[in-house]
Structure 1
Amino acid sequence: MTRRIVVDTDTGIDDAHTLLYLAGRPDAEIVAVTSVYGNCEEPDAARNIGYVTRLLGLDVPIARGAARPLAGVASIAGHVHGKDGLGDLGYDRPMPEVASETAAELLVRLAAEHPGELDLLALGPLTNLAAALRLDPDLFTRYRSVVLMGGSGPYAPPGTLLMIDANVNNDPEAARAVFAAPRHRLVMVGVNVTGTTILDERAIAALRASPRATFATEILDAYLDFYQNEWGRRIIPLHDPLAAGILLDPGFATGWIDGPVNVRTDGFLSRARLMRTHDGLPPAFPYEAAPDTRVITSVDAPRFVADFVGVLTR
């Protein structure tokens, strides 16, 4: 079965990889793409959508979305993805032709026109989704599924540290609205699992050896420059691509828990967490009731990485 997917993206390096991956999967059809700030400023995200879709020969609606969170100021990850979001390699990125409606309006209209037929894949801060929920509070019940790259899973075992989840941390208010909304199915693919899905030296060499993966490997270096400080190796996690992979093939997920997700802050970072400890117990504090979210807790990382490399080199 072909999944028809609307992609909401802050088009940085792993977002571009995700669009390449979706376009290469025979069971995926990208039907529209919306831009949001995050990995880069929103105008750059829109330009990058245009660049990648032209590269792929895709003629799909593009709608521009939020340039800042619902409250506060945006934290732009130029130090990770390059100022332009694609590694500052000087690509010619004119602003593409965009829809007259906003990203939020497009998300609402497509769901109303095709109820139960489309999947929504959110790869950036959740500001556009929250804005769309203000227009249609039942929006998520009209999508076949909503899959988002964000969140931190259940509470980790004591002494365990997690990567920062920039997507939720960039707009906690929007994330709260998303996790509280009625839905048909909402799937959270968080840093607890994306951080384990590593494109290692061998996989990167396979990409570099393929003429079909030229663009994918050109934009890798800025990302590798950042992540070498995490592990001392020039390797990267496949954050956004894993969310797309699980949308298309739920079998990539080997463990999950259905339960309420809250957005909590420690005064420094905001995280979306399943309200369960690592051993399945409720947390030691009161929390807000919320509809069940499917929270991915483990994945078959080798199988997914092999599929990702195989798709991009075919």
Structure 2
Amino acid sequence: MSTTRRVVVDTDTGIDDAHTLLYLAGRPDAEIVAITSVFGNCVEEDAVRNIGYVNRLLGLSVPVARGAAEPLSGTAHIARHVHGKDGLGDRGYDRPMPAVVGETAAELLVRLANEQPGELDLLALGPLTNLGLALRLDPALFTKYRSVVLMGGSGPYAHPGRLLMIDANVNNDPVAARAVFSAPRNELVMVGVNVTAVTILSEPAIAALRATGTPIARFATEILDSYLDFYQKEWGRRIIPLHDPLAAGILLDPGFATGAALGPVNVVGDGFLWRARLMRTVEGLPPSFPYEPAPDTRVITEVDSARFVNDFVATLTRS
């Protein structure tokens, strides 16, 4: 089997999603096979326009399919306050609608899996609506992907008294997320906010990107301002977590994950938010309430953040 990961990317193309596409395109062991759009960081129309913009910047020509503009149930929550109204920090980029295939995102995900079973990896970076729709078309879909890696979820239950960052992807479509975590699969990997929130692009790393001056590095830093504006309210510093890029990094190099647990994941609500959680306490015990059985998900619990951040910066600053 080839060591190159051939990746289908499902994305709500905001700032860290754009960074992820740049990172995948810069890694010699990755090939982007197709990209599908979904609502989330911005409305779906902006998400697909942003895919087109990044693809032109990269000189990338791959099939693009338009996906869901709203969740399977409920109302979409668009993260304009984080990613800007257009998803790329409102820099005024010319973003014409790209050419798209004549099938929906869900249909494309199903077709590619059936045409190339066991050869492709699916990387989900936004709300899981397209994946939920695809599972309605083919309930065995995930058994036909080499792996499914998603940025979302909250890991195991936290230490008592410790609160976690909101996981917008699961919260934006808990119905689809529940379908994803209950579906049969070869391998499903959850890279949640428990690990992405501590994988920080620091001031020196951002300065290194700014100093490079290549079109890729320049774009990567141009779109950061609204993201930095948001996260400085959390930490008092102009730094950001590498949410989506970390999921891509672990797909390509599982060694970036230094801790993981296997077990069932449920989507649970607290009256305000929905989260995907491994049904284990921090001590590794089952929770104190009944939960739904589900196939094992590989839930990342610890990462080598420093090594990943170094690789991310090196990849985006490579000529």
Query: If the length of structure 1 is used for normalisation, what is the TM-score?
Result: 1.00
Deviation (angstroms), 1:264: 0.2
Matches within 5 A, 1:110-259: 110-212=112-214, 213-259=217-263
Counterpart check, 1:78 vs 2:80 = yes
Aligned partner of 1:290 in structure 2 is: 294
Structure 1: gaps of 5 or more residues: none
Deviation (angstroms), 1:235: 0.1
User: For the residues of structure 2 that align with 1:201 and 1:160, how far apart are their CA atoms?
Assistant: 26
User: For the residues of structure 1 that align with 2:56 and 2:274, how far apart are their CA atoms?
Assistant: 36
Matches within 5 A, 1:81-92: 81-92=83-94
Match of 1:62 among 64, 78, 81: 64
Aligned length: 314
Match of 1:267 among 266, 271, 280: 271
Secondary structure of 2:22 counterpart: helix
Q: State the percentage of identical aligned residues.
A: 82
Deviation (angstroms), 1:79: 0.3
Aligned-pair Cα RMSD in Å: 0.3
Aligned partner of 2:42 in structure 1 is: 40
User: For the residues of structure 2 that align with 1:9 and 1:295, how far apart are their CA atoms?
Assistant: 20
Counterpart check, 1:303 vs 2:307 = yes
Counterpart check, 1:276 vs 2:280 = yes
Give a deviation string over 1:110-168, Cα, whole Å, max 9, x none: 00000000000000000000000000000000000000000000000001010000000
User: For the residues of structure 2 that align with 1:281 and 1:115, how far apart are their CA atoms?
Assistant: 36
Report the residue type matching 1:59 in the other structure.
S
User: For the residues of structure 1 that align with 2:212 and 2:151, how far apart are their CA atoms?
Assistant: 27
User: For the residues of structure 1 that align with 2:47 and 2:120, how far apart are their CA atoms?
Assistant: 23
Deviation (angstroms), 1:215: 0.3
Report the residue type matching 1:97 in the other structure.
A
User: For the residues of structure 1 that align with 2:122 and 2:241, how far apart are their CA atoms?
Assistant: 22
User: For the residues of structure 2 that align with 1:203 and 1:89, how far apart are their CA atoms?
Assistant: 22
Give a deviation string over 1:258-293, Cα, whole Å, max 9, x none: 000000000000000000000011000000000000
Secondary structure of 2:121 counterpart: strand
Deviation (angstroms), 1:170: 0.2
Report the residue type matching 2:242 in the other structure.
L
Deviation (angstroms), 1:211: 1.2
User: For the residues of structure 2 that align with 1:236 and 1:116, how far apart are their CA atoms?
Assistant: 35
Query: Which 4+ stretches in 1 moved above 6 angstroms?
Result: none
